[in-house]
A and B are shown apart, each in its own frame.
Chain A
Amino acid sequence: QVQLVESGGGLVKPGGSLRLSCAASGFTFSDYYMSWIRQAPGKGLEWLSYISTSGTTMNYADSVKGRFTISRDNAKNSLYLQMNSLRAEDTAVYYCARLRSTGYQDDWGQGTLVTVSS
């Protein structure tokens, strides 16, 4: 079955960096677009970024554009999110998800918590 497992979350100071990983299994990773989504405490789901199968096309929400970078390694069945210049408002649970062609996410990981605090 499809499995997505995020890792790399933790406590980081404002202005710091963190790299999240998402290990995929149970499907042909290289055949699917992927997304990152987050949920801040007390807030709703916020889509952050997507990446194409080859990794050549991606896009970002305005809230993270220029600070976050999505990438993937199809040989390792892994998705990444490099997060720089972190702010307190980036504190959230971060989810990776499989993005289908008509724009819905059909499988999600359990999430990894990122806390930005001094």
Chain B
Amino acid sequence: QSVLTQPPSVSAAPGQKVTISCSGSSSYIGNNLLSWYQHLPGTAPKLLIYDNNKRPSGIPDRFSGSKSGSSATLGITGLQTGDEADYYCGTWDTSLSAVVFGGGTKVTVL
């Protein structure tokens, strides 16, 4: 069981917005930098957000990251059918010297 908890699934219609939460203890979330990944089956996972809210080059601004208290959030606006994928939050746990991933959230475009 991961220290980062995500909802198993979220869904919305094309064009709408979805948010995916990544929760943990307030000290854990507050003291660590969060990243978000998109994973389509059979492909390489893709980095969407790093250092809580930064987008790598080439990632559209439809994807956003934020953090507050004991939770981080990935937002996807203007939902497209191509956004159907699994999404994971992650962080570096300094005490473990290890990367930690959330359990993943499946996004369905209705």
Query: For the complex, is A102 an interface residue (Cβ under 8 Å from B)?
Result: yes
Query: Cα distance A39–B51 when bound, in Å?
Result: 23
Query: For the complex, is A59 an interface residue (Cβ under 8 Å from B)?
Result: yes
A18-38 vs B: 1/0 string, CB under 8 Å? 000000000000000001010
Query: For the complex, is A95 an interface residue (Cβ under 8 Å from B)?
Result: yes
Shortest C-beta distance, B21 to chain A (Å), equals 15
Contacts of B104 in A (CB 8 A): 44-45
Binds A, one of B9-17, B22-30, B33-41: B33-41
Interface of A is mostly: strand
Query: For the complex, is A61 an interface residue (Cβ under 8 Å from B)?
Result: yes
Contact of B99 (CB < 8 Å), options: A44, A99, A107, A108: A99
Of B37, B51, B90, B99, most buried by chain A (CB within 10 Å of CB) is: B99
Query: For the complex, is B47 an interface residue (Cβ under 8 Å from A)?
Result: yes
Contact between A108 and B44, CB atoms less than 8 A apart: yes
Contacts of A109 in B (CB 8 A): 44
Interface size class of B (residues with CB under 8 A): 20 to 34
**Given A102-B33, A103-B33, A103-B35: A47 touches B101 (CB 8 Å cut-off):** yes
Query: For the complex, is B75 an interface residue (Cβ under 8 Å from A)?
Result: no
Contacts of B90 in A (CB 8 A): 45, 47, 103-105
Query: For the complex, is A50 an interface residue (Cβ under 8 Å from B)?
Result: yes
Which chain B residue lies CB-closest to A93? B42
Contact between A95 and B35, CB atoms less than 8 A apart: no
For window 35-66 of A, CB contacts with B under 8 Å fall at 35, 37, 39, 44-47, 50, 59, 61
Show 30 A/B contacts (Cβ-Cβ < 8 Å), sorted by A: A35-B99, A44-B88, A44-B101, A44-B102, A45-B37, A45-B39, A45-B88, A47-B100, A47-B101, A50-B98, A95-B45, A97-B45, A99-B99, A100-B50, A102-B33, A102-B51, A103-B35, A103-B90, A104-B33, A104-B35, A104-B90, A105-B45, A106-B47, A106-B50, A107-B47, A108-B44, A108-B45, A109-B44, A110-B43, A110-B44
Q: Hey, which bits of chain A sit against chain B, CB under 8 A?
A: 35, 37, 39, 44-47, 50, 59, 61, 95, 97, 99-100, 102-111
